[in-house]
Structure 1
């Protein structure tokens, strides 16, 4: 990895998560992290992951100890996502929810939907809830019951 990447703190590093960490990527995105996921990029091979992390200046987060060592990445040992979150918290990651900032599906930066604007049938009325939209995949997000469940999980870390 380049020298500037090795000096980054978890709080400011864009991330690349390997194929074993898809659920963790969703949690990190909900916490506002730029958390690219290998399968979203169609990449599974270790060398390709290491090269992508290096070329995009991302911290590689992986469950593969050899890959973490070789690529200067962060090794996650746990299988359970709550335990993985504990590992990240212990590594200095701030794991708190704020307003939605990243798409949980594709990692793009979200944009606020104006009050009174139409939303898809699955999304709430913008006069009742703040709603955000992903400009890349079109998904809509709001702080609903899933948000509360994630907030509860994070509060127990």
Structure 2
């Protein structure tokens, strides 16, 4: 079994959700992906990513959720997200329905029109996480990353002999993962610790 297959099997055994997040929830998408959820953000696109760029030398920053990189698994239909402009409500509703995704939104009208949606009222991402936890969603940081915080692609653990860019730690000394879509490299650093602390506060309140 490959590392990717092991992650996929681990995801299937847990409460993994399929979300579609509206344009106001870019930061939230990073947290959900780091919890192992399949979280598509409507402003993600198929722009090229410079894989030699240091993305904060860490698992991902919240701002990276807003970066223009490819989304969805390779087998999914991502044409909906391939444009530079923001999709219409009708397009969001159709995409969510066709791909069996729960819409997360701060737009009351959009939530009311959706077959399956959660209306969030908070602007702060930590408060948004609390709202999701309150309605029963599992918000636990995965021990083995399965999703790219930047583009939602699956990640694969790098073998110890892989040569990585200068910004990344040596895979023989520290576990590293690479996104199969945008090819960014991740490891558990300070941002991982910050996200873990945030989720702990959310669960304890």
Same fold, TM exceeding 0.5?
yes
Q: TM-score, normalised by structure 2?
A: 0.69
* 8 Å CA contact retained: 1:18, 1:44: no
Tell me the alpha carbon deviations over residues 47-67 of structure 1, each in whole angstroms, 9 at most, x when there is no partner: 110010011111111110111
Work out whether residues 46 and 67 of structure 1, in 8 Å CA contact, stay in contact via their aligned partners in 2: yes
1:147 aligned residue: 192
User: Separation in 2 of the partners of 1:16 and 1:85?
Assistant: 15
For the residues of structure 2 that align with 1:63 and 1:120, how far apart are their CA atoms?
39
Structure 1 residue 121: Cα displacement: 1.6
User: Which 4+ stretches in 1 moved above 2 angstroms?
Assistant: none
Residue in structure 1 matched with residue 107 of structure 2 by the alignment: 64
Does the 8 A contact of 1:113 with 1:132 survive in 2?
yes
Mapped pair 1:93 → 2:137: yes
Alignment check: 8 A CA contact 2:33 2:149 kept? yes
How far 1:89 sits from its partner (Å)? 0.6
Q: What 5-or-longer segments of structure 2 have no aligned partner?
A: 1-14, 45-80
**Aligned partners of 1:15 and 1:35 also within 8 Å:** yes
Give the Cα–Cα distance (whole angstroms) in 2 for the partners of residues 24 and 55 of structure 1: 23
Give the number of equivalent residue pairs: 147
Aligned-pair Cα RMSD in Å: 1.1
Q: What does 1:49-128 align with in structure 2 at a 5 Å threshold? A: 49-72=92-115, 73-98=117-142, 99-128=144-173
Partner of 2:178: 133
Task: Please state how far the C-alpha of 1:122 moved relative to its aligned partner.
Answer: 1.6
* 1:23 aligned residue: 27
1:34 aligns with 2:38: yes
1:118-138 CA-partner distances (Å, limit 9, x unpaired): 112221110111111011111
Q: Which has the higher contact order (CA 8 A, sep 6+)?
A: 2
Q: Distance in 1 between matches of 2:187 and 2:37?
A: 17
**SS of the counterpart of 1:156?**
helix
Q: Give the gaps of 5 or more residues in structure 1.
A: 1-10
Normalised by the length of structure 1, the TM-score is 0.90
Contact 1:100/1:141, CA 8 A, preserved across alignment: no
Q: Deviations over 1:93-134 (max 9, x none)?
A: 111112211011110111110112111222111011111101
